[in-house]
Amino acid sequence: MNTREKFSAILLILGLILALLPLSANRILTMKPKKLLTEVLDEKTYLTVDQVARFIISEDNSVQLIDLRSPDEFSSFNIPGSINVPYYEFLDNDQDRVLNNGKTMNIFYSNGDFDSNYALVIARGLNYKKTYAMKGGLNEWFNTVMNSRFTGDRITARENSLFETRTRAKNLFTEINSLPDSLKLKFIESKRVAAKKLDGGCE
């Protein structure tokens, strides 16, 4: 057998092996299980509603909120600036596109804790490092931010700052979600254009 025949035989055998492997279209978590477990047990993968509130009032473009609820729930109300990827469709979508190729900080949320944390594990298992879950979901958002009230006579500087953040986030949430759908889109677009003007570049 000459060199060319040997080389052809090797390629043919490798091709057969690859053909018999499970389809690559089915996503598989690429991170090792123990490493993934260590990552998801890290407290830093959780974000509190107060941390998310700070992001939305600062209109930080490096942060992307991902609402995992159904489209109907999303259209009723959502945290301003969110995109909607229903949890049951998360693995059907192109994760690179949804998670911005890992360039943005992606924060999952749902009504509670289940869906956002399932999605978090899947995303981290696919090696998207900058993914987080909002602890408590929208139920916690409403309990803490939307129903935030100041009681008592005195307030520390820290409490004042927290209350102010919550109030601003609550007002923004209410304003945006009270708009008719057509105006919601216009508002979001105007914010996007304003952010681009600050950053520079063409529209």
Count of residues in contact with another protein, rule CB under 8 A:
64
197 near another protein (CB under 8 A): no
Task: Label residues 138-161 b or e (16+ Cβ within 10 Å = b).
Answer: bebbbebbeebeeeeeeeeeeeee
> Residue 170 CB, nearest distance to another protein (Å)?
11
71 near another protein (CB under 8 A): no
For residue 44, the 8-state DSSP code is G
Quote the CA–CA distance of 72 and 65 in Å, as a whole number: 17
Q: Which of 75, 161, 164, 186 binds another protein (CB under 8 A)?
A: 186
* Element of type H or E holding 39: helix 33-40
DSSP string, 149-198: ---SS---HHHHHHHHHHHHHHHHHHHHHHS-HHHHHHHHHHHHHHHHHH
Residues 111-150 that bind another protein (CB under 8 A): 111-118, 120-122, 125, 133, 135, 137-139, 142-143, 146-147
174 near another protein (CB under 8 A): yes
Q: What is the contact surface with another protein in residues (CB under 8 A)? A: 1, 6, 9-10, 13-14, 17, 21-23, 26-30, 32-34, 36-38, 40-41, 46, 73, 76-77, 87-88, 91-92, 110-118, 120-122, 125, 133, 135, 137-139, 142-143, 146-147, 171-172, 174-179, 186-187, 190
